């Protein structure tokens, strides 16, 4: 996902805002965290005691190891497949039935981001359910692979160079 601590803080802040917005709208918010190597976790975040524990665990988690969206996209597609009203045993699946996806990343995604077969399945899912995928690109001005995946890409802190910024602050403190 995101390795720069400042970018990671921004990404987590956006997730926290999504949880708060979902709560106000009386909707669920499922956070799927991912990195390279197929590491994918999924938690329902809500404004309850257990939900807030999940939020705090997520905020404490440190991401790293690259950005491999394949596992996350596969997980989301499986949750959507389980969103059948006849299967009331899968809470997360039912919550996904009318959901959108927000993909927050630093943009370092392989090109192509997922296989052609998976891209076709994802396009089918978007057409069938009306799901939109919004990408939030933190710190870069563009990511062609992210644009291939998303309905719309939003940028945040384009051109942010945290190393240069930290050096300027360190020099200012020394002087």
- Which pLDDT value is given to residue 49? 81
Rounded CA-CA distance 32/150 in Å is 16
Q: What is the pLDDT of residues 14-48, one digit of tens each?
A: 888 988 888 888 887 888 888 776 678 888 888 78
- Which pLDDT value is given to residue 156? 81
Greatest extent of the chain over all pairs of C-alpha atoms, in Å: 67
- Which pLDDT value is given to residue 116? 95
Assign 62 to helix, strand or coil. coil
Q: What is the pLDDT of residues 124-171, one digit of tens each?
A: 988 888 888 999 888 767 889 999 999 999 888 655 565 666 677 677
- Which pLDDT value is given to residue 152? 92
- Which pLDDT value is given to residue 96? 61
108: exposed, middle or buried (Cβ count in 10 Å: 0-12, 13-18, 19+): middle
- Which pLDDT value is given to residue 84? 54
Assign 124 to helix, strand or coil. helix
- Which pLDDT value is given to residue 155? 86
Residues 50-74, buried b or exposed e (16+ Cβ, 10 A)?
Answer: ebeebbeebeeeebeeebbbbbbbb
Q: What is the pLDDT of residues 65-116, one digit of tens each?
A: 667 888 889 888 888 876 655 555 555 445 566 678 888 888 888 899 999 9
- Report field, pTM of the whole predicted structure over 0.85: no
């Amino acid at each position: 996902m995101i390795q720069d601590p400042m970018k990671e803080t921004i990404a987590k802040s956006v997730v926290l805002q999504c949880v708060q917005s979902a709560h106000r709208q009386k909707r669920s918010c499922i956070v799927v965290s991912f990195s390279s190597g197929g590491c994918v976790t999924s938690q329902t975040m809500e404004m309850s005691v257990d939900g807030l524990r999940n939020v705090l665990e997520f905020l404490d988690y440190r991401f790293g190891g690259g950005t491999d969206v394949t596992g996350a996209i596969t997980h989301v597609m499986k949750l959507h497949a389980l969103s059948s009203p006849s299967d009331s045993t899968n809470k997360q699946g039912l919550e996904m039935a009318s959901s959108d996806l927000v993909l927050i990343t630093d943009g370092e995604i392989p090109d192509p981001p997922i296989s052609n077969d998976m891209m076709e399945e994802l396009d089918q899912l978007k057409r069938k359910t009306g799901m939109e995928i919004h990408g939030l690109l933190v710190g870069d001005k563009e990511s062609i692979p992210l644009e291939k995946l998303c309905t719309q890409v939003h940028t945040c802190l384009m051109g942010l160079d945290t190393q240069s910024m930290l050096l300027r602050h360190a020099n200012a403190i020394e002087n």
